[in-house]
Structure 1
Amino acid sequence: MKKTSFKFFAIGLLGIVICLVLAYVLQSAYLLFAACVLPLLILPYMPDIRTNQEINPLSKNKSIQVYGITSGENQASYVVIEFKPGRIIWSKHALYFSADHVAMAPTSSLKSNAIALPIYKSDLIIKKGKHRWVGIKLKGMTERSSKFSFKLKQVNRLVVSIQDIKELFKEASPAHKRSIKKSKQLQA
């Protein structure tokens, strides 16, 4: 949560407590009404419940792995996110991973019995405030899955084109750099 959001949230809570105390002391229905309306005003500043998933590149948990599949000339052509079925919570908004922490793997290391889901460029987003983090909109996956013969619970691999990721970074480069600069200024 941002510091400014936390400040407004704290001020709102303090306002509610003050209104309740004054309503009790002064026996005022108007102050009681104000204490009831204040939660509606501070609602946008409430702490965010995690609506996204992140794949932590430094985690030792091997239930989700991100790696690049190399073609014949040792250039990665796809990013593969491999996971155990049920590990991805499809009701979340997005799944984020770091584009900088993608290990390379040969095509022969892929499991042949995996159910893969292709990720289109329209499903990709950039995470604000984090440098070179890519997100996959999971809502797009759930909408598209109704056309498939399998269920999302059975999927254990997502495949993203490296070219789509590069284009996404090119298109959003100036705006993304500004958001990174702002987030670093806020942290300092």
Structure 2
Amino acid sequence: MLQWISEVASPRNTRAIEKRPLPDDGDRMMIDLIIAEVESAVSRFETEQEIRRSERCLREHVADYSWLATNSSARRRKYLSMSERSKIESACCLIIASEWSALLSTWRSRMRMVSEREHILEAFSSAVHEVIASRPRSNTLTDVLLNYIRHRPSLNSVGNDTPRSDTAELTAINPRFPLDDFTHIV
């Protein structure tokens, strides 16, 4: 009678999305530390900008009334908003434990060229994408087959190389699509 519920919400019908499981305590701690690091970089940048504006006003003998601004959008934000924190956290969830140091060093090297507050977050995002792009990619069907064909001895080869009858290399094929997608075809 309630079989239609299981058919509607069947895991066979949902496409498997490659997601990382929930972060463990070590990853959670690193994510919090990185958010704090990014927030301190934003705070330092905004403080330096305030000092520069203040020094410029002193040089030009102009009164600075920016501290009177009551509208929160008119004031510079020294801290990350919730959406910015969320973006950083979701980007950090894509990083595996062995890549934290590479991420931080890449991001810090990009921080030297920052001229606006938004560039800090953009530099972090691009550092995450660079670290992810530097991961070794898994063998595709084409890679394995080409490697297998290239290393096969020729029929005209001379020497004591024994021809390979073993197809164990072909077991390394890792399809990029989940096999569950084909269950609805059959």
- TM class by smaller structure: under 0.3
TM-score after normalising by structure 2: 0.21
Compare the two structures and name the one with the higher helix fraction: 2
Structure showing greater radius of gyration is 2
TM-score by length of 1: 0.21
Which structure has the higher relative contact order (CA within 8 Å, separation 6+)?
Answer: 2
Name the one with the larger strand percent: 1
